[in-house]
Structure 1
Amino acid sequence: MLARQTVLTEADGDCVAVERPDGMSPVLIICEHASRVLPQHFGNLGLSEEALSSHIAWDPGALAVSRRMSAALDATLVHQRFSRLVYDCNRPPHSAGAMPEVSEIYTIPGNLHLGVAERQARTEALYVPFHDRIRALIKDRAARGQRTVIVTVHSFTPVYMGTTRGVELGILHDTDSHLADRMLRAAQDALLFRTERNKPYGPEDGVTHTLQLHGIANGLHNVMIEVRNDLVADDTGQGVVADYLTGLIQRSLDA
């Protein structure tokens, strides 16, 4: 409890939100980078408003798309309520990326030279309860005989370190490619977005931690979706992408 008190105040509330906990779909949607909100204790981490609004703080559009998919599928949605700048819940505690000192072009002053105690406090306050909640949901679903398929939703920037990205949707996987293979085959028929395997990131970049932790470790089919964030910058784009992804997932499950 002491670790939680040093990171989150009572006013901050819980770090994890669950929507449609009784959703009947086999799909369990996870959005680790849903929010750019910082807990009160951290102020602005020494960053400008420009930096705090940018992709380094969150995945713009990812939560909006996740919510639309959750509604369309009647799928449970789990999302982190605080920015990945404090703790990136898609990274294990030993990873430098869990509490990054530098992200893209930005140095993060509030993350420099963190001691063991501070890293542990953030881990216990943000990472542990987030993944414990997912574990509990999976356990409860199994107990009532409900199948679970893990789908994580992210967004990425059209330009990274000066390089333009042509890919529009990425279908990512680690050692289990079962669901990704089916979604990619379905995408070949749809031809709406340029969709590629393990782009713009792949397991070698350390982005499949949640898939490993809750999908592969439990023998559950899983996939990570990356959407270029200019495609989901407004309600219309979010609706189009969510409908498209919902269709890909549904066809893949039916297959």
Structure 2
Amino acid sequence: MAKGVANELLGLNDPAPFGLFNAAGASPFLLIGDHAGAAIPEALGDLGLCDADRRRHIAIDIGVHGLGHRLAERLDAPFLHQIYSRLVIDCNRNPARDDAIPVVSDGSRISGNEGLNEAARAVRVAAIHAPYHQAISERIDARRAAGRDTILLSLHSFTPVMGGIARPWEVGVLHWLGCTHFAHAMLAALRDTAALTVGDNVPYAMDATDFTVPFHAFPRDLAYAEIEVRQDLITSVEGRMLWADHLAQAAKDALQRIS
């Protein structure tokens, strides 16, 4: 998509579509956060949402922004994360899917997403989705060209209750196709911490609805893991620091298991 099309959405006061922390991180890990941000371009107003909805899990993976930064420090890894809300466009969905720009999410109507034509959808893809994924691809390819391995760690968070059903897991490790050995090793490493309740492909299972890991890791034969942490555990600074410690230790242990 031409740069001019992207500029139809993002104005001078809007942030860039992705953030990059610790770009020079020397470890094999590359951290990504598809839903770490909650920004909405000025041109889209509030998408018809109240303040409370813009702070809910429907708009952002609560806690992931801070968790990703702390984990990047502990692993000496880059953290490349989305700035804009998943309700503007979901960067973990194929942009051709209807749910990439949802009109309803967990009971909340997103009136600003209703009735979009293909041109309006294409503008959001060009401004936000495409540059985010281009940045991930360029970083992976540059590492490969420099002879560096990459293990893709995708960070997400999940609600303690969904549809009235409590979710007892504190953390889940998601995996599907491709090089799953690291994901299985990280699952085992987390389960070795007896105090944690760890889910294997729960509360979500990676499948064809996911976009980021399948798009970047599968065709390049990259080791990967998608990590889901329960949101109530990482709402505080202290919680994010504790879970950065848990995940850093598990990632390092998993790396040793597969070496």
> Into which bin does the TM-score normalised by the smaller protein fall?
over 0.9
| Distance change (3 Å), C-alpha of 1:142 and 1:221 | same
Counterpart of 1:15 (choices 2, 14, 17) is 17
User: Which residue matches 1:149?
Assistant: 151
User: Which residue matches 1:98?
Assistant: 100
Q: Does 1:51 align with 2:53?
A: yes
Cα contact 1:153–1:225 (8 A) shared by 2: yes
Q: Secondary structure at the match of 2:172?
A: strand
Counting matched residue pairs gives 254
User: Which residue matches 1:237?
Assistant: 239
Identity of aligned residues (%): 35
Note the C-alpha offset of 1:205.
6.8
Matches within 5 A, 1:63-102: 63-102=65-104
Note the C-alpha offset of 1:168.
1.3
Q: Secondary structure at the match of 2:7?
A: helix
Q: Distance in 2 between matches of 1:180 and 1:4?
A: 35
Cα contact 1:26–1:148 (8 A) shared by 2: yes
Note the C-alpha offset of 1:103.
0.5
Tell me how large the CA RMSD over aligned residues is.
1.1
Q: Secondary structure at the match of 1:3?
A: helix
Q: Does 1:210 align with 2:209?
A: no
Structure 1: gaps spanning 5 or more residues: none
Note the C-alpha offset of 1:97.
1.8
User: Which residue matches 2:204?
Assistant: 201
User: Which residue matches 1:249?
Assistant: 251
Q: Secondary structure at the match of 1:174?
A: coil
Q: Distance in 2 between matches of 1:160 and 1:144?
A: 44
Q: Distance in 1 between matches of 2:158 and 2:15?
A: 28
Q: Distance in 1 between matches of 2:63 and 2:39?
A: 14
User: Which residue matches 1:34?
Assistant: 36
Matches within 5 A, 1:168-187: 168-176=170-178, 177-187=180-190
Cα contact 2:15–2:83 (8 A) shared by 1: no
Alpha-carbon displacement from aligned partner over 1:105-145 (angstroms, at most 9, x marks no partner): 10100001110000111011111100001111011111111
Which 4+ residue blocks in structure 1 deviate beyond 6 angstroms? Answer: none
Structure 1-normalised TM-score? 0.97
Q: Distance in 2 between matches of 1:167 and 1:19?
A: 29
Residue 73 of structure 2 aligns with an amino acid whose one-letter code is A
User: Which residue matches 1:219?
Assistant: 221
Higher mean alpha-carbon deviation, 77-86 vs 10-19, is at 10-19
Note the C-alpha offset of 1:95.
1.3
Q: Distance in 2 between matches of 1:75 and 1:204?
A: 26
Q: Distance in 2 between matches of 1:251 and 1:93?
A: 35
Note the C-alpha offset of 1:41.
0.9
Cα contact 1:174–1:211 (8 A) shared by 2: no
Q: Distance in 1 between matches of 2:239 and 2:24?
A: 28
Residue 223 of structure 2 aligns with an amino acid whose one-letter code is H
